[in-house]
Structure 1
Amino acid sequence: MDIRAIIAPAIQDREALEEFADALTDRAPEVERDVARLKKSPGDREITADLFRAIHNIKGDAALCKFELGIAIAHPIESMMSRFREGEIVFSDLLAELILLAIDRLELATDAVLAHKPLENLRLLDLVQGLELTARAAPEKLDASCAELIESVTGFPPVITGMSARAPKSAADKTPHTGATDDLQFFRSLALQFESRSPLFKGRTMRILRLALETNKAGGAQVDPLQLEAAVYLHDVGMMLLPESTWLKVGRMTDADKQLLRNHPGYAAGLLQRMHGWQAAAEMVAQHHEMPDGGGYPNQLSAAEICPGAKILAIVDAFEAVMLKHIHRGKNRSVLRAIAEINACDKQFAPEWIAPFNAVIRKTIEN
């Protein structure tokens, strides 16, 4: 295969590629569900056949739509599933994680090609070459090959478990009781009200708060932790002023849905702007969907115009959103793949805060 079809795939037929993207949106949940089922029942030949068929269909869709990258990713996975079906290799947790990571990368790459976005951060050549080598690995070396490839593509070893939803110490706990303490308690109650609107949100506020405070600390504590804590609590509260059918929607959003969602930062920021002493938090909330390249919203600010707290909040909020994005597929998105996706899309975020965020994740691994 021409290496350019992997590192810089061209759109030969846009309509066909859009059809492939739509089909992949349907196929990927099948893969996710079948991998989860097979991990629990590795001897089930019917589940094995289902997963093999799902991967085979992705390869067939890619061939029909003339998307060589799709073939290059799906074919070695199909070969591994064939070896498993014949009893030559076992279906280990590492093999399962590698398959899911590969499908994630294919989804990201397809969307990026359609949007004319860069692909270098996806490490597609490493992925395809590694999949080909892993597909031919000796049975006793398969897990080692999977682990090596996962770390090569993501930058993280495949040993990450869950992220704590336990409440970290509030910045207000370290200061005498003031009006700010009362305000933070009120802000937290609003955040928990938002969280209660869906069982899928359980624990998200404290996960985001912990990551935000620790990322700020790892980056030199440039942001006032009291203001950052307030911004974490209120950054999504504006969602409650929108129709629930929009922000609790499962699956792809329409352009109208996306346009409506662009209003939510302004509502919460407006609340903070009208309260004495929370102007910095208001700025963070208003800007947390802005991007360094000017492609964010609501004001298309550039990197220098976005405050540091908003840059932190953008990363940790996106991480939580990625974790939630595919929960309807039947299992939680793994922390590893969520981190990998954030790093693969790092041009959406301030690079000076990606490194501290990664440092926090690495510390979590070590502990």
Structure 2
Amino acid sequence: MRVRAILEEAIARGTVPGAAFGVVFADGRRESLHLGLAQKEPEPVPLEAGTFFDLASLTKPLFTLKEVLRAVEEGLLDLDDPLSLHLPELLWLKDHPLKGKTIRELLAHTSGLPAWEAVYTWGEGQKLKARLLQYPWPLGRPTYSDIGYMLLGILLERVRGKPLGEFALPPGLTFSPPPEQSAATERCPWRGRVLRGQVHDENAFALGGAAGHAGLFGTLEGVLGELQALLQGRWLSRAAWEEMLTPHGERFLGWERKHPGWHGGSLASGGSFGHTGFTGVSVFLDPERGYAWALLTNAVHPTRHRPSIAPLRRAVGNTLAAEVS
């Protein structure tokens, strides 16, 4: 497989310390490989099968989207419910348009909520969640928003009556990985150490480690299991799948559609979709050709200040598409 050579070269150049790659097919076939290091410092640790990666924003589609749609299937929510229906204390005593924003708009990143804010500097735990609900967020043009998914995480906790960290997860996915079995991320200047088995995203850490926008960890096999379930129609009902793939600009619900400059590569089929995560992780699905792939790396180790891995993702995606088709 040409992908191995591409990844070995990227590791040799120092683009990423290590990489776990896998491809799954709708007919049940699966291939995978693990290369390089799970940790470079303070001492080198080889990357092996079973290593947990910080999935960062893959939390959005693989957990939050799935759990929201599952709640819709069970009659607990509707995608067009306004947030205030389930979060009645939202902006209490304030007349603010956020109250009328729908679950669908947050899932599709069309609510106009800001992309990001350093909310970890505001507080932590329940106090921080309360402030997120009371803050008069400015609404502007639609943009990819961590804030929207933080609110969706709080909504899910309210609907299910338990914290996100207690939600049942498929094998290979967790909010609490064993540190010694996890790929290292950044030498965090805020926490003063190399992070291993602890969520890299500062806002997710302040929210308790499990949030709607980040916090999920997964092994390659665990992630591939979810991708194969999607391809085989076992992830959601057919009705939920069709609603999930309703276009909203360059996005579906929770996912990014193929478009010019897409990280999944220009040779993917037109109906392809995927998602990336800040730590260096990514997943892409090509339902038309019946395959999906995951590239999990710890690109932010030991620092986030390094070149983009978008060219690496595109090289892998294009090479794979050429081989499969």
**Superposition TM-score tier, normalisation by shorter sequence:** under 0.3
Q: Normalized per residue, which structure has more strand?
A: 2
TM-score (norm 1): 0.24
Q: Normalized per residue, which structure has more helix?
A: 1
TM-score (norm 2): 0.26
Q: Which structure has the larger Rg?
A: 1
